[in-house]
Chains A and B, each alone.
Chain A
Amino acid sequence: MTTRTKTTKVAAALLLVTLVAAGCVSPGQPRPVAANATAAVPQPLNVQDPAEIPSRAPVPDCDNRASLRPPASMPKAGVMPANSTMAQIAKRGRLVVGIDQNAYLFGFRDPATGELVGFEIDFAREVARAIFGDPDKVQFRAITTADRIPVLQNKEVDLVIRTMSMTCERWQQVSFSTEYIASRQRLLVRKADGVKDFPDLAGKKVCATRGSTSIITIAEQPSKPIPVSTDSTLDCLVLLQQGQVQAVSTIDILLAGLAAQDPTTVVTGKPVSDEPAGIGIPKEHADMVRFVNGVLEKMRSDGTWTRIYDRWLKARLGPASPPVPVYSD
């Protein structure tokens, strides 16, 4: 009799434990509530948030603006000195220039004609005019930021005119003409946000292209903004428009191109860098460097520079005069 009672008790306890366990283990998944859904926010490809910050390469000491002096007398168009780089280009029949096809105001396709136009395109045409007497004898080759130095080193192009900053590091790999436009890193923000400068961006996201010096400069700001990197500056504008970053920071001439595509944005802030832009030329072609500097010299003195600047950039960047050339010899 006692055994039976015990057994009954044990059985009852087991049953209870089982029931409780079953109740605990399977509470049943709650039905997903549609009201809890949140918006899907897409991102451009390859966004890094926060960005990986490349270490600033040890900068060799040099005068980054100093280029070679133009020849005493420039050759006439169509009669290039024998055996010169320009003579080879003339023989080929066209000047090959690496450009950006996606930089509004600098190098882009005119939607009306499909033609490449812009500030830098006009510079390429002026060099072609000096060699051939014909500004149309140019073959443009759209290249990426990363391609700029390799295409020069492989001599796939004669010139690179693609907002290329003259740095001492690059001077070791390629040559530059004299500065053709001054550029400084600044900010592009939404007008409505009231952001004036970097101090307003403490802890906020600021976008630049991956691996660029701009991204390092953002990371070095004392207000500690969060750097976000993309494949191209245009992707930064996309992020700014989608509200995923608070500012874009790169050289002002590129920012002007972005601001021109979105009237609700504005270029602002004090310059945080000085990055003169020069025309890239293969290191071996010293005669070409001198020739191009001669062309730039003439453009500065005869008003061509100002005419081109006013056509593309004056409305965005304000009036400017050509940068003063610096020569190393």
Chain B
Amino acid sequence: MVTVPSGSQGVSVPTRLAPVATKPAQTRPAEVVPAPTEPGRLTARLRSRLNTPRIYWLAAAGLVVLALATGAAAVADVRQREALITDVAEVSGPISVDAQTLYRNLADADATAATAFLATDGESPELRTRYLDDLARATAALTIALRDADDEEAAWLRIVADQLPAYTGLVETARSNQRLGVPLGGAYLREASGLMQQTILPAAAEVFNSTHRRLIAEQEEAAGFPWLVTLLVLATGGALIAAQVLVARRSRRTFNLGLVTASAVTVLALLWSVVALGASAGRLETGRRDGSVLVSLLANSGRAALQARANESLTLVARGGGATFEKTFTSRLDELIGADGQGGLFAQALAQAPSSDRRLIADARDEAIRWRTLHEQVRAADNGGDWDKAVALATQSGDEALPAVFARLDGGLTEALTVGNGRVDEQAEQAANALRGLLPGLVLLTGGLVAAVVMGFRPRIGEYR
């Protein structure tokens, strides 16, 4: 494509460009006189050969190399972003949802098993079904999450996989003893719940946190500023301007059509990239802020609420020996809404949530505040020795009763969580859409840029043949 002069011998020096070209020739004798060193002689020889067509040739080659490098870097950058966004949508997003499912359903199973234990007139079939469904979802999430987990996550998942059968065994032993009416059932349930809360849930939390960190890191990386490409684009732009100045000076023509076209192509590529990458990054940032980060807060809220619920039930299952469970309940509820009802994870989630989600989260928080009041009534009854009344308060049906209040709290959190997870997906999809066409576009534009540079220099170099 480019006509490269084969050697220096056949090139005639045109008179009109003499001033610049002859400069090295004049200095040459001065350099030769003091016994020239190797590099000194090289510089001298180089200068002697730097006549205009050679400069043109070098400029053209430099621009072509720079354009190709910039194009290649931009294409690589966009490809990597696309890969990251695909990963967010297809791997790290889904696995973080699986980890949430695992975490949530394990906590729910524990709370449900403890609550079901309080029934004095036989086990509630609804609670039993809920417990079994929780386990089914947890084991399904466990097996799916193992597929995409990294080594560290797999090690934590293995703890869950190892201990979960032991947990369910303890719960069933507790149920059998409970049916026989012996207090031993409660001891097995306490052991089961201890295993869940001290071993299984922390392991599931590690998995959740790890997958979540991965998701957020990928969202941030895919939305990161393209430093290398920006530098190369600036260099290309600068080089194009310099080349035009050079050509304008030596050829006495103000505009070189090829180089002007090349500049326009660069500007077009730059604008398109800025718009596409900016939109994509904006979507990813929304997905991170209103999706992933919010989801993390909500998932932790859900876990804290369920752990509080399990401990509330255990205070009653323990029948007078529940002081430690009450302490755990208080610390979990404080973690959830703060000591004054206005702090904790809920306050953080409210601050993080976009305005469209706030209503839902605030309603759930209000239920949590109501729950604390109802819990205090349960404790007052139990501490006063009226265990029957305490259990009745903790298990009665009715819209304003404790189970209904907790169900609304839990339901609200679950709904907000679904919205947040949906947002991660949706924003990843839109981020991918924003980049659509950019990759082939950049390839074409780079080709155009190279072609325009060649077109711009070829006639100029040709003039010296």
Residues of A within 8 A of B (CB): 37, 39-45, 96, 100-104, 108-112, 114, 139-144, 231-232, 234-235, 237-238, 260-262
Contact = CB atoms under 8 A, between A and B. Distances in A.
A146 to B, nearest CB: 9
A234 B385 contact: no
B384 A141 contact: yes
A112 B194 contact: no
A42 B159 CA distance: 12
A261 B321 contact: no
Contacts of B385: 96, 139-142
Interface stretch (B56-64, B161-169, B248-256, B439-447): B161-169
A272 B57 CA distance: 106
B187 interface: yes
7 contacts: A42-B166, A141-B385, A142-B320, A234-B186, A261-B183, A261-B184, A262-B184
Nearest to A102: B183
A102 B181 contact: no
A160 to B, nearest CB: 12
Contacts of A111: 179-181
Contact of A234 (B167, B184, B194, B387): B184
A235 B187 contact: yes
Nearest to B184: A261
Contact of B319 (A37, A101, A110, A261): A101
B187 A238 contact: yes
Contact of B190 (A45, A100, A112, A139): A45
B406 interface: no
Contacts of A103: 183
Interface string B385-402: 111100000000000000
Contacts of B362: none
A212 B383 CA distance: 24
Nearest to A260: B182
B170 interface: yes
Contacts of B180: 111, 261
Contacts of B179: 111
Interface in B178-228: 179-184, 186-188, 190-192, 194-195, 198-199
B120 interface: yes
Interface residues of B, number: 37
B194 A44 contact: yes
A82 B179 CA distance: 48
A67 B167 CA distance: 49
B241 interface: no
A297 to B, nearest CB: 28
B444 to A, nearest CB: 45
B320 A108 contact: no
B320 A143 contact: yes
Contacts of B324: 45
A37 B387 CA distance: 44
Nearest to B177: A261
Contacts of A144: 320-321, 323
Interface string B20-54: 00000000000000000000000000000000000
Given A37-B162, A231-B321, A42 B191 contact: yes
Given A42-B195, A108-B183, 19 more contacts: A37-B162, A39-B166, A41-B166, A42-B167, A42-B199, A45-B194, A96-B385, A101-B183, A102-B183, A102-B320, A104-B182, A104-B184, A139-B385, A140-B385, A141-B383, A142-B319, A142-B320, A144-B320, A237-B184
B181 A110 contact: yes
A293 to B, nearest CB: 25
A100 B183 CA distance: 11
A238 B321 contact: no
Contacts of A238: 184, 187-188, 191
A42 B120 contact: no
Contacts of A102: 183, 186, 318-321
A319 B259 CA distance: 114
A268 B319 CA distance: 29
B191 A45 contact: yes
Contacts of A104: 182-184
A157 to B, nearest CB: 8
A260 B177 CA distance: 12
Nearest to A232: B321
Given A37-B162, A102-B319, A261-B184, A42 B170 contact: yes
